[in-house]
Every structure is written in structure tokens, then in C-alpha cells.
Copies of this chain bind each other. A is one copy, B any other.
Amino acid sequence: MVKTPQDWMRQAIEMAVQNVRFQHGGPFGALVVRDGEVVGSGVNSVIAMNDPTAHAEIVAIRAACHNLDSFQLTGCELYSSCEPCPMCMGAIYWARPERVYFGCSRSDAGEAGFDDALIYRELGLAPGARAIAAIPLLRDEALAAFTEWAVSPVKMRY
């Protein structure tokens, strides 16, 4: 029987719930689906792995790319139990699935203690004006890396 988006979302939600019950990490689960099959999945593993990037979506994207032997998720859909944070949205743009479905909203996440909204706001500020200041340094020298890239035989868009 063909699964619906609701079926996949319920699976992502169940992973999120179990992740808390098993005391593995935060209340988040994600699936990458292609042609009616799960090609990667992940749960929040920040605490268990000591990895602040191990959000459910990042874990699922990395797993799917590994399984598909590709750094692109063409033709895939991502299901996440919660609206992706800016880090995960960035990863989604680099991986380029067709679309994303999410359960809870960023404001639900905020009420649960996860301040995604802060990061969305901060990214709209100039780098130097942010709570974690981002300071330009030695741009002229740093351009050397792009000069090297421009003439590299392996230059590839990703």
C-alpha cells in the first residue's frame, strides 16, 4: 500500500517520541523518502554524540546521502517532526530535496526551550552586530583560495 505524507510524518513523530523515551536526545525525528522508500533517517543525537550539529534532519540527510552515494537528494522528500532550524534549513538547501514537511512549528520549539527563532533573527543582522560577532579579517589574502578554485581541474558545483 502506498504511504501518504501523513504516514511518513507519523513515522518521524514516533521516532521523536521514542528518542526521548530511550533517553537518547531531544524530541526530534526526521526521514528522507524517495519513491516510496526511506533512504535515510535520524533522531536528535546532540547530547549522545557530543555533536551540536547532530539534529535529526542533519543526521537523516547525511545518512541518505551516504546510502544514495550522492551529495544531492534529488527526487527526495524530507519529513521532520518539527520545523527545521536555520542550520538544518541551510543543509536542506545544499542537499536540495524536492520539498520538506514538518510537524511542530518554530514557535512550538521555542516554547519547548529550543530557541530557533533567535537564530532566524540573528541571521538577518549584519555579521558584526550579532550576539556571536562575526568579524572580517584578511579578505585580500583569503581570496587566494577562490583564485585557486577558479582554475582547478576538479572544480564542481555542489
Show the binding face of A for B, using Cβ within 8 Å.
5-6, 9-10, 13, 16-17, 19-21, 23, 26-29, 46-47, 50-53, 55, 58, 61-62, 65-66, 69-73, 79, 81-105, 108-109, 111-113, 118-120, 122-124, 127, 132-139, 141-146, 148-150, 152-158
Contact = CB atoms under 8 A, between A and B. Distances in A.
Copies of this protein in the assembly total 2
A85 to B, nearest CB: 6
A137 B102 contact: yes
A142 B128 CA distance: 37
Contact of A90 (B6, B86, B97): B86
A26 B155 CA distance: 8
A142 B21 contact: no
A89 to B, nearest CB: 6
B62 A53 contact: yes
Contacts of A89: 86-87, 90, 119, 122-123, 134
A25 to B, nearest CB: 8
A88 B149 CA distance: 21
